[in-house]
């Protein structure tokens, strides 16, 4: 028996040893795309160019997170307002231990040790910095430099990559590989001060009365100010707190810097009680906020001046995330990353107490973002929502088109190789776990012509839209735009706000600016005021807004029923009674909403 036992030990040991001997690795394609029409291949990527690869591991319990998100966001559910802790969200977003081990072993087989990579808070992302040469070996692919035919931007990308067979089930995606999105700011235009009329006093003219009975100064029909928005959206006289724990966050990308001197000049003109106050600056991944006046960003100035101006003295935070699309092939560029909003998501999800309200005025055409990446980013927004954060995104400035504000120059073709004419929804606005904000103009309000709207080709219609969106579609004449949009997709936008003629201070000049980049921080400002009222009353923040907005919140919104959003050679969709893919459910009435949520 002793001899037999010895032989068994030898056999088991040999078996273990044999299993550990490296075997030839067979790769299988993980993802393949057709390069978008406006990108051309310029040449092989330099072998020593450094890529910052993100590896997304599967989230097996993400359906439980979604269930919790809807329950804590449904005003009729017993769990309403019982938001999850950071630890609870991390647990629901975490990958299986087998996936962690498998990916670690795969990386180690290429000489990448645990000390060489970083993980996200839930361990669902792994990030490594490696040269192109190693990435090509690991992913069985070839990277090229691709140039954008319109503006000369360049990125290092591939149109296909593969993974070893035994890794496929443990990895959702790896980027940057097949993603050609550029994540641009959503603004239409600037109008310089020399073109601005003097503030019109309309001597002898009467106030404008809106359909809801609100009276607004007539000058607001030519220039939007803080005062105009508070009048129009029924918040005049409401004062927020600086000490109840409420916070408002604004995200900044692509070298857009929020200038404090501009902010002070804006406050002097429009919010004098806020003079000498400022915001907290947070750098993400090395993001900067240069105070050189010549580097002030129109987008960042707009966002900070109006969002923080509406909510003063609520503490505000401006997040600047590094990462800029253009890769200059002949420059000493150490990294190439143009997906900064997931870098920001990593950061904010790692924080114990993020702001209760956050607005973002950036996005890109949905089809330029690989589906796998869009789903993972969207899951990140769900994680935030479950923790009690309200997230607003601009819906876009191209109407139903591709983001170009001029509908006559849009190219509305699919980039899947078929070149089929199609309306082009925007992302991240198409994510069902964010509140997409469209645009209006004038008083009484109509849809602004560039208001991004339509239907996602990636995300199905969410439960909260199951009555509102079909009601709109059923009222469309038969055959309207058949084949140009996905009638079963998530509808965009959810709500809207003023988006034109915003008076800001930019590089110490008074200018006007427009775009849904104005409407998103505006709507977010009023959401922050609602959160202020709730926190001051001992209630939890609103969190994910959409289940509330499509039910109880309807009574606190101003329906916008005229206007349209042309694009792709069409007149686009029309605004109408109820939800529509131009202005969503309408614009906020703060007074009514406050009564609803308290």
Residues that are catalytic: 299, 303, 517
Q: Taking a C-beta distance cutoff of 8 angstroms, is the pair 383, 350 a contact?
A: no
What's the residue count for the chain? 598
End-to-end CA distance of the chain: 78
The alpha carbon of 273 is separated from its chain's Cα centroid by a whole number of angstroms, namely 32
Asked if residue 578 belongs to a known ligand binding site, the reply is yes
Contact 530, 553 (CB under 8 A): no
336 with 176: CB under 8 angstroms?
Answer: yes
**8 Å CB contact between 397 and 516:** yes
Is 406 annotated to bind a ligand? Reply is: no
Under 8 Å CB-to-CB from 18, ≥6 apart: which residues?
none
Backbone dihedral angles phi then psi of residue 105, each to the nearest 5 degrees: -65, -40
103 marked among binding-site residues: no
* Percent of residues in the chain assigned helix, strand, coil, to nearest 5: 30, 25, 45
- Which among 53, 48, 46, 58 has a CA at the least distance from the CA of 161? 53
Indicate the SS3 state at residue 85: coil
What residues are paired with 319 via a beta bridge?
Answer: 251, 282
**3-class DSSP state of 131:** strand
Query: DSSP for 440-481?
Result: EETTTTEE-TT---EEEEEEEPPGGGTTHHHHHHHHSPTTTT
C-alpha 595/C-alpha 598 separation (Å) is: 6
DSSP-assigned beta bridge partners for residue 378: none
Give the angle subtended at the CA of 104 by the CAs of 98 and 106, to the nearest 5°: 100
Q: Which residues are annotated as a binding site?
A: 559-560, 578, 580
Q: Which residues are annotated as a binding site for Ca(2+)?
A: 559-560, 578, 580
């Amino acid at each position: 028996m002793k001899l037999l036992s010895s032989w068994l030990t030898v056999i088991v040991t040999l078996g273990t040893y044999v299993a550990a001997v490296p075997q030839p690795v067979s790769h299988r394609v993980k993802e393949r795309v057709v390069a978008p029409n406006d990108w051309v291949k310029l040449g092989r990527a330099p072998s020593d160019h450094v890529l910052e690869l993100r590896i997304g591991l599967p989230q097996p319990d993400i359906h439980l997170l979604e269930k919790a998100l809807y329950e804590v966001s449904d005003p009729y559910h017993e769990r309403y307002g019982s938001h999850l802790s950071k630890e609870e969200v991390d647990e629901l977003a975490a990958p299986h231990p087998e996936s962690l081990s498998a990916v670690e072993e795969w990386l180690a087989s290429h000489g990448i040790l645990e000390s060489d990579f970083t993980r996200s808070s839930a361990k669902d992302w792994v990030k490594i910095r490696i040269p192109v040469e190693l990435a090509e070996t690991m992913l069985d692919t070839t990277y090229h430099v691709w140039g954008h035919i319109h503006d000369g931007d360049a990125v290092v990308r591939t149109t296909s990559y593969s993974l070893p067979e035994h890794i496929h089930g443990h990895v959702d995606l790896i980027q940057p590989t097949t993603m050609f999105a550029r994540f641009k700011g959503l603004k239409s235009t600037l109008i310089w001060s020399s073109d601005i009329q003097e503030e019109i006093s309309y001597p002898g003219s009467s106030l404008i009365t809106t359909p809801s009975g609100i009276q607004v100064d007539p000058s607001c029909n030519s220039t939007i100010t803080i005062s105009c928005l508070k009048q129009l959206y029924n918040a005049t006289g409401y004062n927020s707190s600086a000490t109840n724990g409420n916070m408002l966050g604004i995200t900044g990308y692509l070298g857009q810097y929020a200038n404090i001197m501009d902010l002070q000049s804006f406050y002097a003109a429009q919010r004098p009680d806020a003079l000498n106050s400022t915001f907290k600056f947070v750098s993400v991944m090395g993001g900067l906020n240069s105070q050189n006046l010549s580097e002030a960003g129109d987008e960042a100035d707009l966002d900070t001046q109006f969002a923080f101006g509406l909510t003063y003295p609520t503490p505000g935070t401006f997040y600047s995330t590094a990462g800029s699309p253009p890769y200059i092939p002949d420059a000493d560029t150490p990294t190439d990353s143009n997906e900064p909003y997931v870098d920001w998501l990593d950061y904010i999800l790692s924080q114990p107490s993020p702001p209760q309200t956050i607005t973002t005025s950036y996005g890109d055409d949905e089809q330029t973002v690989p589906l796998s990446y869009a789903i993972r980013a969207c899951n990140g927004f769900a994680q935030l929502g479950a923790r009690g954060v309200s997230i607003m995104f601009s819906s876009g400035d191209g109407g139903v088109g591709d983001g170009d504000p001029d509908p006559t120059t849009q190219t509305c073709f699919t980039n899947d190789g078929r070149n089929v004419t199609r309306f082009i929804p925007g992302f991240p606005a198409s994510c069902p776990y964010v509140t997409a904000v469209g645009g209006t103009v004038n008083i009484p309000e109509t849809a602004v012509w560039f208001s991004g709207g339509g239907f996602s080709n990636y995300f199905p219609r969410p439960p909260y839209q199951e009555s509102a969106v079909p009601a709109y579609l059923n009222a469309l004449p038969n055959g309207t735009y058949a084949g140009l949009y996905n009638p079963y997709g998530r509808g965009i936008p959810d709500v809207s706000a003023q988006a034109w003629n915003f008076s800001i201070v930019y590089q110490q000049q008074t200018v006007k600016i427009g775009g849904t980049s104005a409407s998103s921080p505006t709507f977010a400002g009023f959401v922050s005021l609602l959160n202020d009222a709730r926190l001051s009353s001992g209630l939890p923040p609103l969190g994910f807004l959409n289940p509330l907005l499509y039910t109880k919140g309807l009574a606190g919104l101003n329906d916008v029923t005229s206007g349209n959003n042309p694009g792709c050679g069409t007149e686009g969709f029309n605004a109408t009674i109820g939800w529509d893919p131009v202005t969503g459910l309408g614009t906020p009435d703060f007074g009514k909403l406050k009564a609803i949520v308290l």
